[in-house]
Chains A and B, each alone.
Chain A
Amino acid sequence: MVEALTHAAAHSGADHAGNGHASHVSLQYHPGLPIPNGKLIVWLFLSTEIMFFAGLIGTYIVLRFGAPTWPMPHEVHLSEPIGAFNTFVLICSSVTIVLALEAARASQSTSAKGWLLATLALGSVFLGVKMYEYNAKFAHGIYPWRPHSLIYEKADLNYAAAVRLRLEALKSQFDAEDSSLKAALDPEALETDSRVVTLREKLAVVDDEIAYEKKAEITAATDPLNAERHVALEDLADRIMPLVHDGGEEHGLNDAHEWLRLPIRIPGGNMWASTYFLLTGFHALHVLIGLIVFTLMIPMTLDVARAGFVENIGLYWHFVDLVWIFLFPLLYLF
């Protein structure tokens, strides 16, 4: 286009004159907010994080209140005291990081470092307790991934079948061990040997459970219209792990004999596991990231110059804390 070209010609004079990284001036601005850019972008980042967890928590709420039934804390081995303790730990860590900031502002690098380490320690305690809680779940076969966990939604025939399979597996295993022991030990030692004794006890348990299971399965399977059907299966499930609706704990076979690990019946248990590990998992991940940053900060000298940085990571840490403040009642109390 002609015009543009003529303009180009007109301006090209000024152009090479000011092709000007050479005369590079450092510019001044009029900032819209009286805070450093670093702090602003951290706030903005946290707002995206809020939306992220809003998505997760929203999912939890929708799924939970959409579900026909939802397990009681005890049924999924969720202990409020432990959760409360962890909440307390996190809140303390929020305090310590603030103290670290104050110290840094006063250029008392060493005490700042101290508070930072305290925060680091508390955060690690939180994660440690989480690990412990997770282990408790795994120990009871409560987890949301393949191979299929021990959770079954309802006590139906394929639940019973699963129980039978587990029992038969145990039996054959024990029989094998028994015979190998027989071979190893000489007959008179056999009766007194502790291993043999415990093994025999276990076998006894398994045997009579197998017998019970057979009976239940048969009553259930034989004629479907029989009212006994459900009763039998429910009883089977209750023997293994009773549902606690009044919150009072009863003990089932699985609790009596840790090694049994029979399939358990928890209505809504699978969905519970999915959401529980989703929410706490992503939160734990955020805690972990915070701890990593803290560790990286240990070699630094935390004086006024670094105060801004301490403040920003502090903001992040408060956020992680806040998320937990939401998660705890949501997952443990309601």
Chain B
Amino acid sequence: MSSTTADSHAHEHAPAAGRAQIGKFLSTYVFSRDHKIIGIQFLFSTLIWFLIGGLLALGIRWQLAWPWAEMPVIGKMLFSAEGGQISPEFYTVLFTMHATVMIFFVIIPILAGAFGNFLIPLMIGAEDMAFPTLNMLSYWFMWPAFFAMGSSFFVAGGAAKSGWTSYPPLSLTDLNGQTLWLIGLTFVGVSSMMGSINYMTTIIQMRAPGMTMFRLPMTIWAMFITAILQAFALPVLTAAGFMQLLDRLLGTGFFIPPGWTAGNAAMASGGGQPLLWQHLFWFYSHPAVYIMILPAMGMVSDIISCFARKPLFGYKPMVYSIAGIAGLGFIVWGHHMFISGMNPALGMTFMVSTMMIALPSAIKTFNWLGTVWGGNIRFTTAMLFALSFVSMFIIGGLSGIFMAATPVDIFIHDTYFIVAHFHYVLFSGTAMGVFGAIYFWYPKMFGRLMNEKWGKVHFFFTFIFLNGTFFTMHILGAVGFPRRLADPYHYQTFAHLQSLNIFMTWCAIGMVSVQSIFALNFILSLFLGPKAGRNPWHANGLEWQAPSPPGHGNFDFQPVVYRGPYEYGSPEVDTDYYPQTQPVPEKELIPAPAAH
């Protein structure tokens, strides 16, 4: 933001007409082609949606703790029809939209859109993306999606309510909400596709002199491989989405079993296969779960190495394991369909591949531990969040092993064990990593530091509350507590679990409310935060050599790269960090570029 305020200041010397200034404002903030502004636009949009997704989650939690109880205050406003209580139908809307918002409007765009956009050119020493206009479009294509999903709450029949997986035939019987959901998803897909091919081109073609592939920061490697995943997995979902749209609107029968009639989707045409959708959906959505964590892994690696003041342990194995995860990610989708009626023999092969995909993650985990070992650890807020990512990802990952074991999955499939699993990887993992990244790169984005004391308060309570909420889910899962149930307590098997759910709900309420600390810290620091220099953390990456915030064109000197980004505590120099652009002290290879 302030980068461009500075920008516009420079131009306000000229006596510009009001209209010209409006045009100026629009071109710098709204229709900007500057990757930094676009990244920040993504960041703000996704944070708003994060809040919405969180509130939807609270709706879920409320119903699960006190089923059919009238909601205090807002209940009467929201659903006066049901006397202020959540209707079973609306419950299905709640978790469907909660998941949709969190995955497609928060985690994916905040990783690729916000941080990918902001960091890629800065970290590789480019002045912008290869195709700035395409980049701008990739943001503006999110808005039709925002509108489609947002408006779907108000159309007849309400928003989509077939789960974020929207399995047919159920999703075919749903009303307009599902149509809008599919349209929204298509736009998100197009947006991500534009972004990903742009990122790949930029990373391949626009690295600063000396920035070889194996001198790239892990963040860039992760973004690069994520972009590849996007480019190859997303089109399949888009195709599937079109087919479901055609089934709904036109009357084709791709996912409609022979002679099937139900709801408003009664069609004689048929011969389709419901399971086909599941295959296509998971062919995208399993790679997608790695799309939702690899960038976080990359950013966490940078943060940990920086605050351990120590080189990243096993750089190349880290890179290869990211690539390994991406590769294997394409051949494990069937593990979501073990009991779907898919040929059980197939289930066996998918089980083996799924087991194997744990391996690269294992390598990454151990290397993070290796990085912390023998370091000189500074417990900044960013570092705390990064460390919690490692700690929490281990939990989320290990619970994945239970489900990968096909016989165990028979029992825990579609129970809260799954819900625990993916909240540990997605919230406790990725979202925590994102918080860390925000605290870490905020000074570069806005030129000011966030408040560390309140940051740590935010971390402490988030950490406590999220474990209170999500760890308990494992135990519910062990009892077989099914997911997506508006009221499970009329089953004798689950009746006694309400106490646990009430506990979880209180934790969730706590978790959401402490985010207000973050929100305040985030917004106030924009104006009150202490000015950050170019390199507040004494980090090595190229982005830290640029001004904070970087002006238009990012660099006020030609960056030349002499080494990898993790040379902390190197004996070559007496500082405990060794920026990538700093020439080797005595025997200078190249005359140093006219730096600041």
Residues of A whose CB lies within 8 Å of any CB of B are 1, 3-5, 7-12, 14-15, 17-33, 37, 40-41, 44-45, 47-49, 51-56, 58-59, 62-63, 66-67, 144-146, 148-149, 151-153, 268, 270-271, 273-275, 277-278, 282
- Tell me how many residue pairs across A and B have CB atoms closer than 8 Å: 223
What chain B residues lie within 8 Å of A152 (beta carbons)?
268
- Measured in the bound complex, the distance between the Cα atoms of B125 and A30 in whole Å is 11
Candidates A12, A22, A27, A153; contact of B551 at CB < 8 Å: A22
The answer to whether B204 and A31 touch across the interface, beta carbons within 8 angstroms, is yes
Say yes or no for B176: interface residue by CB 8 A criterion: no
The reply on B298 being an interface residue by CB < 8 A is no
Partner of A12, one of B3, B279, B531, B552: B531
Is A15 touching B205 in the complex (CB atoms < 8 A)?
no
User: Contacts A15-B547, A37-B131 given: A55-B239 contact, CB under 8 Å?
Assistant: yes
Residues from chain B with a CB closer than 8 A to the CB of A14 are: 533-534, 596
Return chain B residues, CB-CB under 8 Å to A53.
239
Question: Which of the residues A11, A41, A56 comes within 8 Å of B239, measured between beta carbons?
Answer: A56
A143 to B109, CA, bound (A): 39
Contact (Cβ within 8 A) B556 A270: no
B561 and chain A: residue at smallest CB distance: A30
Q: Are A29 and B558 in contact (CB under 8 A)?
A: no
Q: Is the CB of A11 within 8 A of B197?
A: no
Residue of A23, A47, A59, A144 touching B269 (CB-CB under 8 A): A144
| List of B residues within 8 angstroms of A56 by Cβ | 239
Asked if B380 lies at the interface with its beta carbon under 8 angstroms from chain A, I say yes
Smallest CB-CB separation from A152: which chain B residue?
A: B268
- Chain A residues contacting B280 (CB-CB under 8 Å) are 55, 58-59
Distance in angstroms between the alpha carbons of A34 and B233 in the assembled complex: 27
* Cross-interface CB contact of B536 among A4, A26, A37, cutoff 8 Å: A4
Residues in chain A near residue B134, CB distance under 8 A: 41
A270 x B270 contact (CB < 8 A): yes
Within the complex, the shortest CB–CB distance from A30 to chain B, in Å, comes to 5
Q: Within 8 Å of chain A (Cβ to Cβ): is B252?
A: yes
Stretch at the interface among B14-22, B148-156, B243-251: B243-251
A282 and B285 alpha carbons, distance in the complex (Å): 23
Cβ of B588 to closest chain A Cβ, rounded Å: 20
How many chain B residues sit at the interface, stated as a range, is 35 or more
Q: Which of B207-215, B349-357, B391-399, B510-518 contacts A (4 or more CB under 8 A)?
A: B207-215
Additional A-B contacts beyond A21-B552, A59-B280, A270-B253 (14; CB < 8 A): A8-B443, A8-B533, A9-B533, A18-B557, A18-B596, A27-B555, A28-B209, A29-B126, A41-B131, A48-B197, A62-B279, A63-B254, A149-B269, A270-B269
28 residue pairs of the A-B complex, CB under 8 angstroms, read A1-B380, A4-B443, A8-B532, A8-B533, A8-B536, A12-B531, A14-B533, A15-B548, A17-B596, A20-B547, A20-B551, A24-B551, A26-B127, A27-B553, A31-B207, A32-B205, A41-B200, A48-B193, A48-B235, A55-B235, A55-B239, A56-B239, A59-B254, A63-B272, A146-B250, A270-B271, A274-B272, A278-B243
The 6 nearest A-B residue pairs measured at CB: A11-B533, A21-B551, A20-B556, A55-B239, A270-B269, A52-B235
Inter-chain CA distance A21–B546, complex, in Å, is 11
Residues of A within 8 A of B553 (CB): 21, 24-27
Which listed residue, B253, B534, B557, touches A15 by the CB 8 Å rule?
Answer: B534
Chain A residues whose CB sits within 8 angstroms of the CB of B538 once the complex forms: 7
Main secondary structure, interface of B, reads: loop
Q: Is the CB of A144 within 8 A of B250?
A: yes
A37 & B250 in contact (Cβ 8 Å cutoff): no
Given the interface pairs A41-B130, A48-B232, A144-B250, the reply to whether A7 lies near B239 with Cβ below 8 Å is: no
Contact present for A5 and B449 (CB under 8 Å):
yes
CB within 8 Å for A18 and B534 given contacts A32-B207, A48-B235: yes
Contacts of A45 in B (CB 8 A): 197
* Interface residue B494 (Cβ < 8 Å from any Cβ of A): no
CB <8 Å contact, B209 and A29: yes
Tell me whether B207 and A25 are in contact (CB under 8 A). no
Distance of B244 from chain A, by nearest CB (Å): 11
- Asked whether B10 lies within 8 Å of A51 as measured between CB atoms, the reply is no
Contacts of A275 in B (CB 8 A): 254
Partner of A8, one of B125, B231, B276, B449: B449
In the complex, chain B residues 115-137 whose Cβ is within 8 Å of any chain A Cβ: 125-127, 130-131, 134
Minimum CB distance partner of A52 in chain B: B235
Q: Point out which of A1, A31, A62, A149 has the most chain B C-beta atoms below 10 A from its C-beta.
A: A1
In the bound complex, do residue A40 and residue B201 qualify as a contact, i.e. CB atoms below 8 Å apart? yes
Tell whether B273 is near chain A: CB-to-CB under 8 Å. yes
Partner of B10, one of A21, A59, A66: A21
| B258 CB-CB contact with A under 8 Å | yes
Is B107 part of the binding interface, using a Cβ–Cβ cutoff of 8 Å?
Answer: no
Q: Does the CB pair A268–B271 fall under 8 Å?
A: yes
Q: Report how far A2 CA is from B343 CA in the complex, Å.
A: 61
Q: Are A63 and B235 in contact (CB under 8 A)?
A: no
A10 to B555 CA separation, bound complex (whole angstroms): 20
- Closest A-chain residue to B121, C-beta based? A27
A10 to B530: give the CA distance in the assembly, Å: 13
B240 at interface, CB cutoff 8 A:
yes
User: A4 with B197: in contact, given A31-B204, A47-B232, A270-B253 (CB under 8 Å)?
Assistant: no
Across the interface, B208 reaches (CB within 8 A) one of A5, A15, A27, A153, namely: A27
In the assembled complex, which residues on chain A have CB atoms less than 8 Å from the CB atom of B233?
A: 51
Q: Is B592's beta carbon under 8 Å from chain A?
A: no
Contact B243 A59 (CB under 8 A): yes
Task: Provide the residues of chain A in CB contact with B207, threshold 8 Å.
Answer: 29-32
B279-296 residues with Cβ-Cβ distance < 8 A to A are 279-280, 283
Asked whether any CB of chain A lies closer than 8 Å to the CB of B234, the reply is yes
| A11: B residues at CB distance < 8 A | 532-536
Cβ of A19 and Cβ of B533 under 8 Å apart?
no
Nearest chain B CB to A147 CB, angstrom units: 8
Find A52's partner among B10, B210, B236 (CB 8 Å cutoff): B236
Q: What CA separation (Å) do A20 and B207 show in the bound complex?
A: 21
Residue of A nearest to B273 (CB): A66
Give the nearest-CB partner of B240 in chain A: A55
CB neighbours of A67 from chain B (8 A):
271
Q: What are the residues of chain B within 8 A of A15 when measuring CB–CB?
A: 531, 533-534, 547-548
Q: Is B559 part of the contact surface with A, judged by Cβ < 8 Å?
A: yes
Residues of A within 8 A of B6 (CB): 19, 21
**B198 CB-CB contact with A under 8 Å:** yes
Question: How far apart sit A288 and B532, CA to CA, in the bound complex (Å)?
Answer: 53
Given contacts A15-B533, A15-B547, A32-B204, contact A52 B271 (CB under 8 A): no
Residues of chain A lying within 8 A (CB to CB) of residue B572: none
User: Which residues of A have CB within 8 Å of B555?
Assistant: 25, 27
Any chain A CB within 8 A of the CB of B206?
yes
Centre residue among B6, B272, B452 by max chain A CB count within 10 A: B272
Contact A54 B236 (CB under 8 A): yes
> With an 8 A cutoff between CB atoms, is B361 at the interface?
no
Provide the residues of chain B in CB contact with A4, threshold 8 Å: 380, 443, 449, 452, 532, 536-537
B235 A30 Cβ-Cβ under 8 A: no
